[in-house]
Structure 1
Amino acid sequence: MTSTSSGPAYTIQTARTLLRCWSPADAARALRAIHASLEHLRPWLDWAREAYPMSVSQQAAVLRRFRGRFDLGEDFTYAVFDRGGTEVLGGCGLHPRVGEGGREIGYWIASEHIGQGLATEVAAALTRVAFELEGLRRVEIHCDPLNVRSAAVPRKLGFTHEGTLRQRLRSPDGGWRDTMLWTLLAEDHAARPAAASNLEAFDVLGQRLL
């Protein structure tokens, strides 16, 4: 059910998670989850390798920038909390860096919570928001072919593997690594698993959007 309110979705509730726009006040909790997961994240995410460790004040500044860009409609980076909103389980985003009418879904899950299907649940929710609320025509997920857990997410959700971009990004050892490109189009969304995911989405005033 869709309300007359307009997006973006500042808060999204799924069966097991609460996604919401980051706040600088989340810095300490975010930092605990990230620092505890660095060994798990660094092989795949440049920011985990290049920016951490950092202080709480530095983390707050990062989250302040996330919030500012969210409020300006420039980029949409979310915290992933447990349903009660107390523990940081990871992070995700709908990033407008893949061309007009498209968004790229990004996600990471804290090492303590991997293997529970949370990344798939989160990506499914963002896919619904992208198509049903934002009215986009294309959603992409990019991942390293060696990151088996990450590649399983778009596969489970019915995305199409359009191809693998060879030697696309730098690897931690200074070499080059490939990037898989997964996509889903608006006309195919209704027939894919993400369309059946349970969620509620709310705007900045708490009014229901989806």
Structure 2
Amino acid sequence: MTPNSSGPAYTIQTPRTLIRCWSPADAARALRAIESSLDHLHPWMDWARNYPMSVAQQAAVLRRFRGLFDLGQDFTYAVVDRSGMEVLGGSGLHPRVGEGAREIGYWIAAEHAGQGLATEVAAALTRVAFELEGVRRVEIHCDPRNVRSVAVARKLGFTHEGTLRKRLMAPDGVYRDIMLWTLLAEDYRASPAAASNLEAFDVLGQKLL
């Protein structure tokens, strides 16, 4: 597998979601989803400590996400419903885990949790990472106590490489363990993620997958 020369997938359609590059115009919708989910997010998402914030502040965050996306430096996605009107959560394909690899992060708004959306989104991004970006490895990092995130990694056929003890500071100021889950290119075709039902498009709307 080799990277696609058309650039990253700006929009990915799955059966229930659109996974697309954030826009500053999403600020009010993003705030509604995040601020209604803070109790749900605080135990696991360090960035949730930055809320509440104003629409203008949220727009600035999304402008930064979009800028990094357009520069090919980091790929943070909105997860919205198929109409594009409601933010269901967020995700990302992050290159911070080294050359030829991506880390998938994800969160789902409390109202939509427990419906399998995180698995659907993570499967789609795993397929995009291997088939479009030609990576050698995809990783998921999560707190061992975050049973929903652990379940996503297991369902998609990722391997638990190990648990890093007291590696990151949690929002409550306590250092927490981090589980490292990986899927390698040679194992990808046998994983459930390879069967992900999706269509992917570049910045011009041209179909990639």
Scaled by the length of structure 2, what TM-score is found?
0.97
Contact 1:5-1:209 within 8 A present in 2 as well: no
| Equivalent residue, structure 1, for 2:139 | 140
Q: Give the secondary structure class of the aligned counterpart of 1:65.
A: helix
Q: Give the secondary structure class of the aligned counterpart of 2:44.
A: coil
Letter in 2 for 1:104: E
| Equivalent residue, structure 2, for 1:115 | 114
| Equivalent residue, structure 2, for 1:102 | 101
| Equivalent residue, structure 2, for 1:53 | 52
| Equivalent residue, structure 2, for 1:16 | 16
Q: C-alpha deviations, 1:106-155, integer Å up to 9, x for none?
A: 00000000000000000000000000000000000000000001110010
Contact 1:27-1:59 within 8 A present in 2 as well: yes
Contact 1:159-1:184 within 8 A present in 2 as well: yes
Structure 1, unmatched stretches of 5+, are none
Q: Give the secondary structure class of the aligned counterpart of 1:97.
A: helix
Contact 2:127-2:194 within 8 A present in 1 as well: yes
Q: Give the secondary structure class of the aligned counterpart of 2:97.
A: coil
Q: How does 1:183-198 map to 2 (within 5 A)?
A: 183-198=182-197
The answer to whether the aligner puts 1:36 opposite 2:36 as a matched pair is yes
What is the Cα-based RMSD across aligned positions, in Å?
0.9
Q: C-alpha deviations, 1:31-71, integer Å up to 9, x for none?
A: 0000000010010010002x111000000000000000000
The separation in 1 between residues aligned to 2:195 and 2:134, in whole angstroms, is 17
The separation in 1 between residues aligned to 2:172 and 2:200, in whole angstroms, is 41
> How many angstroms does 1:84 deviate by?
1.1
> How many angstroms does 1:5 deviate by?
6.2
> How many angstroms does 1:172 deviate by?
2.9
The separation in 2 between residues aligned to 1:194 and 1:56, in whole angstroms, is 35
Contact 1:7-1:209 within 8 A present in 2 as well: no
Work out the number of aligned pairs and report it: 206
The separation in 1 between residues aligned to 2:74 and 2:5, in whole angstroms, is 20
Letter in 1 for 2:17: T
The separation in 2 between residues aligned to 1:100 and 1:40, in whole angstroms, is 33
Scaled by the length of structure 1, what TM-score is found?
0.97
The separation in 1 between residues aligned to 2:102 and 2:202, in whole angstroms, is 19
The separation in 2 between residues aligned to 1:136 and 1:83, in whole angstroms, is 28
The separation in 2 between residues aligned to 1:44 and 1:75, in whole angstroms, is 21
Letter in 1 for 2:195: A
Contact 1:127-1:139 within 8 A present in 2 as well: yes
Contact 2:10-2:201 within 8 A present in 1 as well: yes
Q: Could you say if the C-alpha distance between residues 5 and 200 of structure 1 is closer, same or farther in structure 2, counting changes exceeding 3 Å?
A: farther
Q: Percent identity?
A: 84
Letter in 2 for 1:132: E
Letter in 2 for 1:34: I
| Equivalent residue, structure 2, for 1:166 | 165
Structure 2, unmatched stretches of 5+, are none
The separation in 2 between residues aligned to 1:106 and 1:113, in whole angstroms, is 17
Contact 1:91-1:107 within 8 A present in 2 as well: yes
Q: Give the secondary structure class of the aligned counterpart of 1:9.
A: coil
